[in-house]
Amino acid sequence: MSPLHLCLAFSSLLFAVGLTGALSRGSSILVLLGLELMLNAANLNFIAFWRFGPAGSPATGVVFVLFSIAVAAAEAAVGLALIISLYRNQRNIRLPEATRLKG
Amino acid sequence: MIPTPAQVWLIPCLPLLAAGLGAVTPRRGRRLAAAAAILGMLGALVLSGFALCGALAAPSVHAFSNFDWFALGDGAVRLGWLLDPLSALLCAMVSLVGVLIFVFSLGYMDEDPNFTRFFCFLSLFASAMLCVVLANSLLLLFIGWEVMGLASYLLIGFWFHKPAAAAAAKKAFIVTRIGDLGLLLGMVWLYSATGSLLFYDGGRGVLEAGVLGGLAAPGLAGGLAASTGIGLLVFCGAAGKSGQFPLHVWLPDAMEGPTPVSALIHAATMVAAGVFLIARMFPLFSADLALPSVPVHALTVVAGIGAITALLGAAIAVAQQDLKRVLAFSTISQLGYMMLALGVGSWVAAIFHLLTHAFFKALLFLSAGSVIHATHHEQDIRRLGGLRGPMRTTFATFAVGMMALAGVPFLFSGFWSKEAILRAASGWTVSSLPLYAGLAGVVLTAFYMTRLLCGVFGGEARSPAAAHAHESPATITVPLVVLSIGSIGLGFLGTPAWPWLQSQLTGERIPSRPLLEGGGLTVLSIVLVATGLGAGWALYARRGRATAGDKDPLEAAAPGIFAFLGARMKIDEAYAATVGRLCSLSAAFADFLDRRVWGGLVAALGKLGEGAGSLNSGADEAGINAAFDAVTRGLRRTGRAYSKAQTGEAQGYLRALAVAFVVLALLALFGGLR
Amino acid sequence: MNAILLLIALATLGTAIVAMSGRNLLHSVLLLAVSWSGVAAFYLWAGAQFVAFAQVLVYLGAISMVVLFAVLLTRRAREDFGAPHNLTTRSRFAVAAGAAVAAVLLWAVSRSPLAGSKGPAPTVTVRDLGRQLLGQHAAALLVIGVLLTLALIGAVVLAAVDSPDFPEDAP
């Protein structure tokens, strides 16, 4: 059980937790938070491989994660704006009720 | 001043120009139209006079001038002008009679509103007749022939608002057209056999010995020669134009036209054109006489038809009650005499009679016109009478014409010309029937002319119109006098003692013979004339019918025959029953075909198209549309089914993603999916 | 080494689970913030100091704040604070899905012959990072800049409103 294995197990479990939370909760903010957890898990993966993986370009993993964090930030901002918009339309933020796009 | 053959075209050109001027002259331009017409004819007369001098100077020469009309293939279609004694004499006759009739028309048509149109058509006709006479090409002759037919139609139907006149014009045109068809076929045959339609062409013309030899060879079925066939076809055209039996039916009806028209066209000139044509083409007609194998010579047919016509016309004229109709049937009869003369071989006698007949028949018609003008168009002889007092000049000229026609001996031209014909008929070796027919005709002619003279001028006036008649103005009477001089004088040009006319026409010096050369025949004909005159006098002059309602003595004596002859031997009815019926039946049949058969076919096709259309639309609706609708419905259903997957729940989608991820990962791990 | 890792992992996972399953939205957000700081600790342990710094700055600093704002702005009554936690079908399925995914991933991880290097941690100085960002990844940097700008503008547009339906929300 190398440290890499452990790191990867850790990130997988975190991903699963985030997924479960995103799937099961009703409040859309919690779904968003679940998504953020999943992103974090992915970032963890990257850093794990950067630290323990085969030596490649020394900064690629770091750069990737930086970009990922930036994108996550943007996404969180937009998502929360969307939630506010949703709140305006249906007076609550329960995601299962937001089915206006139902085909 | 003598025109050469190349300049001879001026003679028909002058009246043509007058006709053109008349066509553009408005109705009020009466003086202009009349002056143009008369000046045109005078010009033609003067030129004809000079041409006559030139032709008579060299009577045996056929002076011609040919020219190309248009190019056709390798060669060209050629036309030409001919100047010989025959054409020059006829030219002069047509121009002279024409001028006199034009002057007559000034007085006769004075009250008619369409004065200008009349003179325009008259000039057109005169131009066409002169063209026919002077033509050296059968084609040019045919052109003039057809224009004459047109002018005749226009002039017979001059008072077109009268239904009788319109119908008569149509009848004339159609009947002569039937004859002209034969003429056209003859022309085509001649052209295909010889390659030329010129009469004289320096040896290559169709009337010249070289070409005739080829035509006269017996080459057709039954031993007929080409010249026989061509001759018979040409005779068809001549028979139509000259009113021979059975194509004579249009002439009596043509009397619906104004009297000057009857005088010019249907007495003196146009109807004589048929005779002239055969006389002109006599070498062709007589070419087969030398062949023994030919079963029927063309000239035999001509003689037979001429004899029948001479007798028929005279017989019907006896029972007619209309002044002009008597004269019309008389014309038919005299034309029969001319054809008879041609048939027995003496074209010279025929032309002699043509010339004399032109004068005295025109004279008779113009005198009748004078009577009609004076009695305001009363033409029934039962309602005329007693006009010898008030209309002395007309009476005198009519009497002169009547005596010339009847053949009163020695003084009058008709006697000499008829004698020539009878003499020629007696010398015919084939048969004596034409002679007997001619002799019978002599009696009848004298009889019916006496009847006419007595009916119109004798006795007392039988109607108010006749009672109030007075002599016509000078424009009418002067031409009458001139024509009577001609009727007397012309005869002396052809007596046996001085055969001037015959010599000029044939180009040979014919020796002078005793005056009564015919001997017994002459005496017989004189006796017959006297018989006819006497019988007419006895029946009509002495009795002097008092009223219009009295029956004609002949009618009282033999009502059946009189009625039959009066109804023109029912020939018109026979035509109507046969040819007319056939045409109506064919028309009805064609109409039936058109409406039922072809119309039905078209309608069926239309229904077929309609059916196809509805089939198409049905297939489209039921088949294609339904199929498309079904497909779209299926697509919609599928879409609806698919859209059920769109629950709108974001978490549901995420769930699906997770499941898919798991499945894929399993596949990758265990299924070898790379 | 592994002990620290295990500790960090447990802390992160624990707070994350509790945050995801908690009733109180506010508590969930705050606990998640702790979880994120656990991740930052991991980054530090792995030797990516700059990334840890960025994690703290962005997640703990910006995103947490934004989420808190959103939570506070979108509550109606006191009952909205509590997200009812009942085991619906959805929850069960979610747990199942999560478990399945975790299982697959762990299996994959355990079966992979990963030759983890036992060597020293690679170091990246800030200077090198800067050079990389502005050199090799300059284009991506620019794009990220544009993306962030757009996202913020978009968020403002979405969140702001000038309709008369919500006069109390008008800026």
Identify all chain A residues contacting C19, using CB atoms and an 8 Å cutoff: 21, 33
Per DSSP, the residues of B32-101 read HHHHHHHHHHHHHHHHHHHHHHHHHHSTT--EEEEEEEEEETTEEEEEEEEESHHHHHHHHHHHHHHHHH
C97 vs B651: CB contact, 8 Å cut-off? no
* Mean pLDDT of all residues in C85-90: 66
Q: Which of B68-77, B153-162, B536-545, C139-148 has the lowest mean pLDDT?
A: B536-545
What six digits make up the tokens of C43? Answer: 């980054």
Residue B138 is predicted with a pLDDT of 92
Confirm whether C138 is domain-assigned.
Answer: yes
Confirm whether C171 is domain-assigned.
Answer: no
Per DSSP, the residues of B366-413 read HHHHHHHHHTTS--BGGG----TTT-HHHHHHHHHHHHHHHT-TTTSH
Confirm whether C105 is domain-assigned.
Answer: no
Which pLDDT tens digit goes with each residue over C20-61? 988 888 899 999 999 999 999 999 998 888 999 999 999 999
A31 vs B643: CB contact, 8 Å cut-off? no
A73 vs C21: CB contact, 8 Å cut-off? no
CB B555 within 8 A of CB B562: yes
Do C3 and C76 belong together in one domain? Answer: yes
Dihedral pair phi/psi, residue B200, rounded to 5°: -125, 130
User: Residue C162 has what DSSP assignment?
Assistant: -
Residue B518 is predicted with a pLDDT of 65
Most confident of B254-258, B285-289, B507-511: B254-258
Identify all chain B residues contacting A100, using CB atoms and an 8 Å cutoff: 648
Q: Which one of B649, B653, B654, B659 would you mutate to disrupt binding with C, by most C Cβ within 10 Å of its Cβ?
A: B659
CB C110 within 8 A of CB C104: no
Minimal Cα–Cα distance from C29 to chain B, Å? 20
Provide the residue count of chain C. 171
Residue B140 has pLDDT above 90, yes or no: yes
Which pLDDT tens digit goes with each residue over A34-43? 999 999 999 9
A102 vs B658: CB contact, 8 Å cut-off? no
Domain holding C150, by residue range, is: 124-163
Q: Which sign does the torsion angle of CA B485, B527, B272, B571 carry?
A: positive
Q: Which one of B653, B666, B670, B674 would you mutate to disrupt binding with C, by most C Cβ within 10 Å of its Cβ?
A: B666
C-alpha closest to that of B661 among A43, A95, A23, C114:
A23
Most confident of B358-372, B524-538, B553-567: B358-372
**pLDDT range class, residue B184, cuts 50, 70, 90:** very high
**pLDDT range class, residue C77, cuts 50, 70, 90:** low
Do C58 and C131 belong together in one domain? Answer: no
Query: Can you list the positions of beta strands (E) in B526-575?
Result: none
A85 vs C90: CB contact, 8 Å cut-off? no
Residue B516 is predicted with a pLDDT of 66
- Of the residues C31, C64, C85, the one at which a domain ends: C85
Residue C59 is predicted with a pLDDT of 94
A62 vs C50: CB contact, 8 Å cut-off? yes
Minimal Cα–Cα distance from C26 to chain A, Å? 10
Residue A51 is predicted with a pLDDT of 86
What's the domain count of chain C? 2
* Mean pLDDT of all residues in B120-125: 94
* CA A20 to chain CA mean position, Å: 12
Confirm whether C50 is domain-assigned.
Answer: yes
Minimal Cα–Cα distance from A80 to chain C, Å? 6
B665 SS3 class: helix
Do C75 and C134 belong together in one domain? Answer: no
Do C65 and C12 belong together in one domain? Answer: yes
Residue B150 has pLDDT above 90, yes or no: yes
CA distance B568 to B317: 8
Q: Residues of C near B (CB-CB distance < 8 A)?
A: 90, 93-94, 97-98, 100-101, 104-105, 107-108, 111
Do C7 and C75 belong together in one domain? Answer: yes
Which residue in chain A has the smallest CA separation from B644? Answer: A103
Identify all chain C residues contacting A10, using CB atoms and an 8 Å cutoff: 5, 9, 12-13, 42
The beta-carbon contacts of B61-66 under 8 Å, at least 24 apart in sequence, are B61/B507, B62/B199, B62/B200, B63/B4, B63/B5, B64/B5, B64/B136, B64/B198, B64/B199, B64/B200, B64/B201, B64/B205, B65/B4, B65/B5, B65/B6, B65/B8, B65/B136, B66/B136, B66/B137, B66/B198, B66/B201
Q: Which of A18-22, B109-113, B142-146, C111-115 has the lowest mean pLDDT?
A: C111-115
Q: B34 or C82: whose pLDDT is higher? A: B34
Do C26 and C79 belong together in one domain? Answer: yes
Residue A95 is predicted with a pLDDT of 86
> Domain of C21: which CATH number?
1.20.120.1200
Confirm whether C108 is domain-assigned.
Answer: no
Confirm whether C48 is domain-assigned.
Answer: yes
CA distance A66 to C25: 28
Q: Which of A9-13, B84-88, C18-22, C118-122 has the lowest mean pLDDT?
A: C118-122
Q: Residues of B near C (CB-CB distance < 8 A)?
A: 651, 655, 658-659, 661-662, 665-666, 669
Confirm whether C101 is domain-assigned.
Answer: no
Residue B227 is predicted with a pLDDT of 84
* Mean pLDDT of all residues in B171-195: 91
- Of the residues C85, C112, C144, the one at which a domain ends: C85
**pLDDT range class, residue B180, cuts 50, 70, 90:** very high
Please report all neighbours of A, defined by 3+ CB atom pairs within 8 A: B, C
Do C80 and C140 belong together in one domain? Answer: no
**pLDDT range class, residue B380, cuts 50, 70, 90:** confident
List domains and CATH numbers for chain A. Answer: 3-97 (1.10.287.3510)
C100 vs B669: CB contact, 8 Å cut-off? no
C94 vs B659: CB contact, 8 Å cut-off? no
Residue B548 has pLDDT above 80, yes or no: no
Average pLDDT in chain B: 86
B517 SS3 class: coil
Phi-psi region of B389 (alpha: psi -120 to 50; beta: other; left: phi over 0): alpha
Which pLDDT tens digit goes with each residue over C111-129? 887 766 666 777 788 888 8
Residue B357 is predicted with a pLDDT of 92
Do C129 and C74 belong together in one domain? Answer: no
Do C5 and C81 belong together in one domain? Answer: yes
C124 vs A48: CB contact, 8 Å cut-off? no
Q: Which one of A14, A68, A85 would you mutate to disrupt binding with C, by most C Cβ within 10 Å of its Cβ?
A: A14
Which residue in chain B has the smallest CA separation from A94? Answer: B649
Do C13 and C65 belong together in one domain? Answer: yes
Average pLDDT in chain C: 84
Chain C, residues 124-153, CB within 8 A of chain A, namely: 124, 128-129, 132-133, 137, 140, 144, 147-148, 151-152
B508 SS3 class: coil
Q: Which of A44-53, B223-232, B331-340, C151-160 has the lowest mean pLDDT?
A: B223-232
B225 SS3 class: strand
Nearest CB among A24, A27, A75 relative to C94 is that of A24
Do C70 and C1 belong together in one domain? Answer: yes
**pLDDT range class, residue B549, cuts 50, 70, 90:** low
**pLDDT range class, residue B515, cuts 50, 70, 90:** low
For chain B, what percent of residues have pLDDT higher than 90?
Answer: 38
Residue B550 is predicted with a pLDDT of 67
Which residue in chain C has the smallest CA separation from A78? Answer: C155
**pLDDT range class, residue B1, cuts 50, 70, 90:** low
Which residue in chain C has the smallest CA separation from B652? Answer: C90
Residue B29 has pLDDT above 90, yes or no: no
What six digits make up the tokens of B456? Answer: 């119109």
Partner B contacted by A101 (CB < 8 A): yes
Q: Which one of C104, C105, C110 would you mutate to disrupt binding with B, by most B Cβ within 10 Å of its Cβ?
A: C104
Q: Which of A81-90, B200-209, B602-611 has the lowest mean pLDDT?
A: B200-209
Residue C54 is predicted with a pLDDT of 93
* Mean pLDDT of all residues in B388-408: 89
B646 vs A98: CB contact, 8 Å cut-off? no
Residue A69 is predicted with a pLDDT of 95
Nearest CB among A23, A102, A103 relative to B651 is that of A23
Q: Which of B102-106, B339-343, C53-57, C121-125 has the lowest mean pLDDT?
A: C121-125
Partner A contacted by B665 (CB < 8 A): no
How many beta-carbon pairs below 8 A join chains A and B? 34
* Mean pLDDT of all residues in B356-380: 89
Query: Can you list the positions of beta strands (E) in B102-225?
Result: none
Identify all chain B residues contacting C90, using CB atoms and an 8 Å cutoff: 651
**pLDDT range class, residue C169, cuts 50, 70, 90:** low
What six digits make up the tokens of C62? Answer: 């910006």
Which pLDDT tens digit goes with each residue over B454-504? 888 887 777 777 777 778 888 888 888 888 888 888 877 777 767 777 777
What six digits make up the tokens of A71? Answer: 């994108």
Q: C123 or B408: whose pLDDT is higher? A: B408
Q: Which of A25-34, B285-294, B370-379, B405-414 has the lowest mean pLDDT?
A: B285-294
CB A53 within 8 A of CB C38: no
Do C79 and C139 belong together in one domain? Answer: no
Q: Which one of B640, B649, B653, B657 would you mutate to disrupt binding with A, by most A Cβ within 10 Å of its Cβ?
A: B649
Confirm whether C95 is domain-assigned.
Answer: no
